Amino acid sequence: MQKFYATVAITLLVGSSILNAATYKGQKVYIESCKGCHGGGQALAGSKKQRIWKVIMANKGEQLAQIHLSSKKAEASWTYFNDRGYAKDAKHLEDFLVEYSGDSGNVPACN
């Protein structure tokens, strides 16, 4: 019976670490790619609710990319949003933005 409880505890710890890793990767992507123009993560992520971020980041962040690609102010980011790296990073960035959205109650530590 103790082996069962130990197995469950280890599974929960490993599972929570894996789920948290995507948020951490998204935070890293934000710091490297977005912070220069948008400032701290709390300001941008907290500007929208979780539901809105999920819509914007659907289809590998296609809508977010289009917002940037259609804005002359965002010209410095066009190369990034046209790159395959953005499609790869989009899920992690979504996890970060949803985790620290305005209605989540969480505050990122990248300010």
Every domain of the chain and the residues it spans:
2-99
pTM above 0.85, yes or no: no
Reported as a pLDDT band with limits 50, 70 and 90, residue 16 is: low
Task: Return the number of other C-beta atoms located less than 10 Å from residue 69's C-beta.
Answer: 13
Q: What is the rounded end-to-end Cα distance, in angstroms, of the chain?
A: 46
Question: Is 17's pLDDT higher than 60?
Answer: no
Average pLDDT over residues 34-41: 90
Q: What is the pLDDT of residues 3-14, one digit of tens each?
A: 766 676 666 655
Phi, psi of 57 (to 5 degrees): -95, 5
Q: What is the pLDDT of residues 86-110, one digit of tens each?
A: 999 999 999 999 999 999 888 876 5
- By CB neighbour count within 10 A (0-12 exposed, 13-18 middle, 19+ buried), where does 29 fall? buried
